[in-house]
Structure 1
Amino acid sequence: MAESAEELPADAAGAWQLVVDSVYGMWADFLVRLPLIMAGIVLLVVTWGVTKLADRTVRFALRRTRLRRSLRELVRQLVYITIWVVGLLTAAVVVFPGMTPAKVLTVLGLSSIAIGFAFKDIVENFFAGALILWRFPFEPGDFIECDELMGKVEETTIRMTTLRQVDGQLVVVPNAQLFKSPVYVITSQPKRRITVICGVDYETDLGQAQQVLRDAVEGCSSVDADHPVEIFCQEFGGSSINFEVTWWTGSTPLAVRESRDEVVRAVKTALDAAEISIPFPHRTLTFKENLALQQVEHANNEA
């Protein structure tokens, strides 16, 4: 017990000395590498400046080309990413002299599998964004619809696409969702076909009603004159003969709403002027005679 008590201070002193030596070694190694670390930081600052200059230069150069806007954006972002990757690799080689570009690429190659599994969604959105910018047929300013989301494309980046809905809300959509799901590009064409259903009374002359509807729709300023107005009898409704009224107008949501409003108003006015009624649903109720007698008897008994 006496020997153990005497050895304890010596062991504690040795442990403390080991900690001090380790901290001193780390500090000395930091001081030795401090110039290299400063050089690496300077390289990162230079890389940042080069990316800003390259971004402006690429933007100016691409404006003079006939490439699609989304393809120009893809080229710009790839140049931006490439410069940063080269800058980071150069800074790593400067800070750690024993590390060569070949070793860095080897480490990146071995770690790519782990990174792919750990950041699967990020990698998936990255490649989906690249393909969207390269080949997809919608540009910033187009209205698109995907998975119950509908809005105006404001920006498409490598990772996400931002949509401004018609009610003003901003929706951030991962590119993988747009790549996997059906996307309806509402404004891919300047004009869009609209259809409404209009019913007339069964006693109405259908030929006359069809002509009245056609004249009313063709007289609307929002209806495109380059496409014919189509009026077809569609079905025998519960209380009316239903017509399918089809015309072409602007493709934006606002243009569609304005045109639909104008056409419905014009059709209602024209049918009223021609004394053609748009009937309400009619229902006929029948009762069995014995049920009515039972109800009368029950009322008499209660009285």
Structure 2
Amino acid sequence: MDYIGTLRGQLQSMGEGFVETLPSLAIALFVVFITWIVARFAVRISDMFVGRTEIRASLKTLIDTIVRLTIWVLGLFVAAIVVIPDLTPSSLLAGLGIGAVAIGFAFQDIFENFFAGVLIMLREKMRIGDVIECEGITGKVEHITLRETHVRKLSGELTVVPNSILFKNPVEILTDVDQRRHQVVVGVSYDTNLDHAADVIRRAVEGADDVLVTKGVDIFAQEFNSSSVDFLVRWWAGSTPRAGWESKDKVIRAVKAALDEANIEIPFPYVTHTFKETVPVSQLGGSSKRTP
């Protein structure tokens, strides 16, 4: 048997078949190029229509992705038919159905994050610019994609969070509204008239800048501590972390100054010192002493 001749014949037939398919490949590449152009213009047209509405930025990104993905799927399908004329929509869908099972198992995490990203973009809460807290991550949402969300931490680092984490776990949105409640604990000495102290603290908090007096100020005697009676002081201010820190700084300064002016003591906590006996140093040739 002439193996060399058989191999030469197979290579020759393959080469002839490749040459015959060159026009189809060229047309398919041209279809892909046209698809790329159409996808770009379609996204721009979509942005023009969506930009006239008050739609969320995350939902706008989702619409652009769906438009681009739809055009690319249609374009690649047309290119595949040009290269393989026997390919039909039914055979393609059948092949995709069989392959989807294997691909689904192989890329389970990727698809999970993809669908979680779609659902995150569709829901109204957690918009770009919100400050969130989830699984120990606190920061500002900068970008939401179909697979991951970019969260800029308050210290400046960027954290890339898979969408499945944000979808399956509780997410605390700190900036869902413009104001939220803040609180601090203030302790006064036991010999203080609590009604008078509460009145002094209330006036100090209401006079502090950035405090929303119209939403109310709460002063509650909370507990008997070791060296003080503690008040829980609550007020409303801006919802961002910085607004909370600034308002707490102003409230603490105002309360401290008001209590000092009213001669109300903020006691130090008692510290218990424990002493223990040591071996007399005289037994070692020195004087005995206690060691705290």
Q: TM-score, normalised by structure 2?
A: 0.91
1:193 alignment partner, SS class: strand
Give the gaps of 5 or more residues in structure 2.
288-292
Tell me if structure 2 keeps the 8 A contact 1:54–1:80. Answer: yes
**C-alpha distance after superposition, 1:174-216 (max 9, x if no partner):** 1111110001111111101001111111111111111111111
Greater Rg by CA: 1
Distance 1:74 1:149 in 2: 24
Give CA-to-partner distance per residue, 1:140-180, whole Å, 9 cap, x none.
11111110111111111211111111111111111111110
Note if 1:35 corresponds to 2:15: no
After TM superposition, list the pairs within 5 Å mapping 1:1-303 onto structure 2: 14-284=2-272, 298=280
What SS does structure 2 have at the residue aligned with 1:239?
coil
Displacement of 1:260 in angstroms is: 1.2
SS at match of 1:212: helix
- The separation in 1 between residues aligned to 2:30 and 2:18, in whole angstroms, is 17
Moved more, 180-189 or 269-278: 269-278
| Count of residues in Structure 1 that have an aligned counterpart in Structure 2 | 285
* Whole-Å separation in 2 of the counterparts to 1:299 and 1:57: 91
| Residue range with higher mean Cα deviation, 184-193 or 99-108 | 99-108
Greater alpha carbon shift after TM alignment, 232-241 vs 254-263: 254-263
Cα shift at 1:56? 0.7
Cα 1:270–1:30 shift into 2, 3 Å: same
From the superposition, tell whether residues 95 and 282 of structure 1 become closer, same or farther in structure 2 (CA, over 3 Å). same
More helix by share: 1
The aligned amino acid for 2:267 is P
Q: For the residues of structure 2 that align with 1:134 and 1:176, how far apart are their CA atoms?
A: 14
Which SS does the other structure have where 1:30 is aligned? helix
Structure 2 Cα separation of the partners of residues 87 and 150 of structure 1 = 42
Q: What's the secondary structure of 1:204's corresponding residue?
A: coil
The one-letter code of the counterpart of 1:274 is A
Shift of 1:285: 5.3
- Measured after TM superposition, the shift of residue 272 of structure 1 is 1.5
CA contact (8 A) 1:93 1:101 kept: no
Q: Distance in 1 between matches of 2:55 and 2:169?
A: 26
Q: 1:275 to 1:156 in 2, by over 3 A?
A: same
What are the Cα deviations for residues 212-258 of structure 1, in whole angstroms up to 9, with x where unaligned? 11111111111112211111110001111111010111111111111
Q: Which amino acid aligns with 1:163?
A: V
Give the aligned residue type for 1:122: I
1:234–1:242 Cα contact (<8 Å) kept: yes
Q: Give the Cα separation in 1 of the matches to 2:193 and 2:6.
A: 106
Partner amino acid for 1:85? V
Greater than 4 Å deviation, 4+ residue runs: 284-287, 298-303
Residues 247 and 116 of structure 1, relative CA distance in 2, 3 Å threshold: same
User: What's the Cα RMSD here?
Assistant: 2.0
Q: Please name the residue that 1:7 is paired with.
A: none
Paired AA for residue 47 in structure 1: T
Counterpart secondary structure, 1:280: coil
Aligned partners of 1:282, 1:24: CA distance in 2, in Å?
97
Counterpart-to-counterpart distance in 1, 2:170 and 2:252: 31
Q: Percent identity?
A: 45
1:232 is paired with a residue whose SS is: strand
- For residues 265-297 of structure 1, what are the alpha-carbon distances to aligned partners after superposition, in whole Å with 9 as ceiling and x for unaligned? 11112112222121111145587xxx87xx79x
Structure 1 residue 82 displacement after superposition: 0.9
Take 2:12 and 2:111, find their aligned partners in 1: how far apart are those partners? 42
